[in-house]
Structure 1
């Protein structure tokens, strides 16, 4: 999976590697690289963007976008940004 766990136990690290292999197998190498770059770009610009829950929410939308066939870096980044907008809108209500 493209969600990185930067802290945590070895168990979490191993689970992350397994998830990454499952996701990587579904997409070509260029798409997978674009997905990772989009995730990093979106998350580096927001408070708490390094937190797992934030990265996971963004990653889910990026994966959904790529699965639908929209695989350019700009499409994937926009999908990640929309995930954060949804969170902010719900939190403000």
Structure 2
């Protein structure tokens, strides 16, 4: 379990990083999957020993940007197919 691996301070920073990164996501019906993906990238960052708020937030932002780019790519392909 994650609480067995990291101290309270690190977990608190991870939670802040997750919330910050999720602010980048467009508001949509599905929130669980993107949050889970972003959280996993933040956890990976922490496992590498990068536990500053800045590092964790950067990892979350990068994951959010990848999700946004992926969604835009899918929408673009769908539009091309529809046209």
Specify the SS of the correspondent of 2:18.
helix
1:72, distance to aligned residue in structure 2 (A):
0.5
Tell me the TM-score normalised to structure 1 length: 0.68
Give 1 or 2 for the bigger CA radius of gyration.
2
> Does the 8 A contact of 1:48 with 1:54 survive in 2?
no
Show the counterpart of 2:66: 86
* RMSD of Structure 2 on Structure 1 (CA): 1.8
Alignment of 1:25 with 2:4, yes or no, is yes
* Unpaired stretches in structure 1, ≥5 consecutive residues: 1-21
Show the counterpart of 1:43: 22
Aligned-partner Cα distance in 2 for 1:92–1:40? 22
1:25, distance to aligned residue in structure 2 (A):
1.1
Which has a greater percent of helix? Answer: 2
Higher relative contact order (CA 8 A, sep 6+): 2
Show the counterpart of 1:73: 53
Dislocated runs of 4+, deviation >3 Å: none
* Unpaired stretches in structure 2, ≥5 consecutive residues: 74-83
